[in-house]
Amino acid sequence: MKRALVIAYFFPPDASVGTLRTVQYVKYLEQFGWECVVVSADPQCEPLEPKDESLLAQLPKSAVVIRTYAWTPLAMLKRRRKPAVATGEAGVPGKRSFVKRVARFLLSCLMFPDRYSGWYPFALVRGLGAMRKYKIDVI
């Protein structure tokens, strides 16, 4: 059988729409003579997406899934968030401090071109390693 390297940020147990498409590719490629090696983000690194463990059962036994770390500024913010306190000033435009506005701007720069860009370096390293280890025929 030939081997394909599938690079997908979203993969089970994440239950987003993009996950479903990738699962179907991996599932049906095996029927056409392709074993799949998947490089994907660790589900612990993506706090915003719903999870569905039953999607893992749809994967063929021959599929190899390699999980990588994904640095996401949104996950970092979620960990640092404190419960909101009602002050009466919430939601009033122009009441944010200068420091918070600068921090928000810098955060948006870190997420260029999208919020998944922190995963790219880790995926590249693991993908290159998978190419050497599994003798990948196509990406």
| Band (27; pLDDT cuts 50, 70, 90) | very high
Model pLDDT for residues 66-120, shown as the tens digit of each residue: 999 988 766 655 555 555 555 555 555 556 788 888 877 877 777 777 778 888 9
Domain ranges (residues) in the chain: 2-134
Query: Alpha-carbon distance 136 to 87, whole Å?
Result: 57
CA 84 to chain CA centroid, nearest Å: 28
Model pLDDT for residues 105-127, shown as the tens digit of each residue: 877 777 777 778 888 999 999 99
